[in-house]
Amino acid sequence: MAYNLIFPPPGLKEMSKYKIVMKKGLLIVALAAVAGGLTAWIVAKSAMPETAGSITQVVGDSQYRTVNLSLDNYPDFTYAAESAIDAVVYVKVVSREMSRQAPSIFDFFFGYGGTPQERERVGSGSGVIIRQDGYIVTNNHVIEGATDIEVTLTNNKTFKAELIGADPATDVALIKVDAQGLPVIPFGDSDKLRLGEWVLAIGSPYNLRSTVTAGIVSAKGRSIPDNSREFKIESFIQTDAAVNPGNSGGALVDKAGNLVGINTAIVSQTGAYAGYSFAVPVNIVKRIVDDLMDFGSVRRAVLGVVMSPITQEIADKLKLSSLNGVYIVEVSPGSAAEQAGVKKEDVLVKIDSVQVTNASSVQEMVSGFYPGDKATLTVIRGGKEKELEVTFKGTAQENGTVTEDGSVAFYGSAIKEASKETKERLGIKSGVEIVSVGPGKIMDAGVTEGFVILYVNDQLVSKPQDVINIIKKSKRAVFIEGLTSYGKVSYFGFGI
């Protein structure tokens, strides 16, 4: 007997439903797994810092170099090193000075003081090209006292360099070579550097040209103990990138190849790298370089206070809620600070709403202003905040200004009445000695320290004020006659 099965029997129907449910369950599980994985990836991605991506650099007409800066290859310094190294140069300096040999019997009988001899000293350092037309930044201590400056590029081309200007207070100097189309390092922003950030030091330590070392930013706003009592602005970037003699004036760059500092100093008992190196922040360098290019010297704003850190003892005494700011130990009479109303025992906490952390940060912030600029100082006095408006004064000294050591400012240099020893040595009765030479007309004329001025515009001089008075009456030019430090008659002049 045959049956036509129009509907499945009960057993087969249940089995079919079971298969459908199983398929739906597997699909739901798979979708849930995908959704969970996607969610986890999104969460992880949002928690990770952004990667730097990649940088592509044109090497030649048709060649490209791409460096991956993503976290899976981090840190990669190849781009920073390769893009910056050609703009860091070797600086050779030669200084010549005259000295006298011990007098012979012949000299004794004929009244000579010995035969003058020229001595030559050679030093070296590094420099950073900042403009394609040949402007190069280096350290003041690299070129100080140099009579000849020579610059060698990474391709071994050599140029004579001229000194544009120098600033001993920040140890920054600007020199220039006669060239065009030179490689440069772009300026970065040293204020945005973070502790622990990777940096590279590039220079020529021990004459090892184009040496690259790496380290991290160890500290910011650092000062170095110094007993010279010279005015200095110190807010160094401290790193543990290896820096040795010859690195001075070289580049400190970030991992993108931007200039963030000029390597300047190390602290060491041996004279070699001992784990710490210091660089002048590029934001200070830019300010100094602009002035040296435009004026040949630095127009520096001065606040006129003596500061110290806030100790717990000071905080307790003044009932301060924190140790932030600097304690005003002394206010200079007639200074910008005094005229603004700053008083002894004030606590300076802000300059134009920017938090003050230490004395170095105050110096760095003030150095960003020009004489005549205004700012708002926030001080704590008697437990209350008080805002004071300050108009900064400058340090530029006009001819005739008497400095702290008793010398008189003279076109960027300093003069004093010749000492008894100098007069006896040179066999003269009177004269005015040039005791230091800085950027200005005297340096431009090629005059060195120790030159003794005898006549200005054919008038005999015996003290600094004689020189200043004669120059004030001059209308077009100044002609000076005198003796070099080794007794040779010499002349120089300049326009006014």
Q: What angle do CA 443, 440, 203 make, to 5 degrees?
A: 70
> Among the options 124, 204, 218, 248, which is catalytic?
248
**Residue 373 a catalytic site member:** no
One-letter amino acid at 301 equals: A
> Among the options 95, 141, 210, 223, which is catalytic?
141
**Residue of 435, 402, 404, 406 lying closest to 418 (CA atoms):** 435
| CB proximity list for 201: less than 8 A, separation 6 or greater | 212, 213, 214, 215, 239, 241, 242, 243, 247, 250, 251, 252, 263, 277, 279
* Cross-strand partners of 252: 201, 261
Cα end-to-end span (Å), the chain: 135
> Among the options 171, 254, 291, 346, which is catalytic?
171
Q: Residue 232 in 3-state DSSP?
A: coil
Q: For residues 219 and 156, give the distance between their C-alpha atoms in angstroms, rounded to a whole number.
A: 35
* Cross-strand partners of 90: 126, 152
**Residue 367 a catalytic site member:** no
Q: Where are the beta strands (DSSP E) in 101-245?
A: 116-129, 135-139, 148-152, 158-167, 172-177, 198-203, 211-222, 236-239
**Residue 248 a catalytic site member:** yes
Residue 81: other Cβ atoms inside 10 A: 18
User: Taking a C-beta distance cutoff of 8 angstroms, is the pair 422, 453 a contact?
Assistant: no
Q: Give 269: exposed, middle or buried? Use CB within 10 Å, 0-12, 13-18, 19+.
A: exposed
Which residues are known catalytic residues? 141, 171, 248
